[in-house]
Structure 1
Amino acid sequence: MTDLEHDLELSLEWWTPNPCFEDDAEVDCEETAKNLTELGYQKIVWHDAKKELPELNKYVLGYCASDNTYAVVKWDCVDWSDDNEVCYNVDYWTELPKINLEK
């Protein structure tokens, strides 16, 4: 079961009983996850930078909670910085989304 399928199942359990669904209605979480993936949906998982760091020099999306800013940065074991070596404060980070340019 993928993370997306798991999230779909949890959300359905949380909303049950849901007046939008008939009592005997079923949702195929696997098929729904497949369709959302084909549409480009990607789950975002935020990591607390004080507890978990990304791979060394791997680019991620960083977020600073104090000034509400985002930046594509890398961690070099000392600082969070971008391609121009500008340093950023990062409280949370997430993987950059995968994109498919060939369609």
Structure 2
Amino acid sequence: MPKTLHLTLTYHWWDEIAEGRKTCEYRRWVPGWQKRLEGAKEGDRIIFHRGYTDRTCVREIESVEVVTGWDLPNEEYRFFGCPNESAFFKIKIRPCFFEKKC
């Protein structure tokens, strides 16, 4: 049975995912995220929440891997404060889970 992960995003990042411009979500490699992402695999679902509103967007996980700060795209690298040696989860997501736009 697929696992479902709920992630709350700021409006900017949620809009990027909903429009299909952002295909990866990054989370710091810390005990809390390690526990939540343990066992996450291809085919599991992510429900992205737009802040604390009732707007959601459902996607499927394509892959989960661990990367260093050096491997973050520029916008995320700056968002996290240029964390060169830090580790992050890179959650690659598939395009829209449903046929209609989220």
**Is TM > 0.5 for Structure 1 vs Structure 2?**
no
TM-score when normalising by structure 2: 0.30
- Determine which structure has more spread, i.e. the larger CA radius of gyration: 1
Give the structure with the larger strand fraction.
2
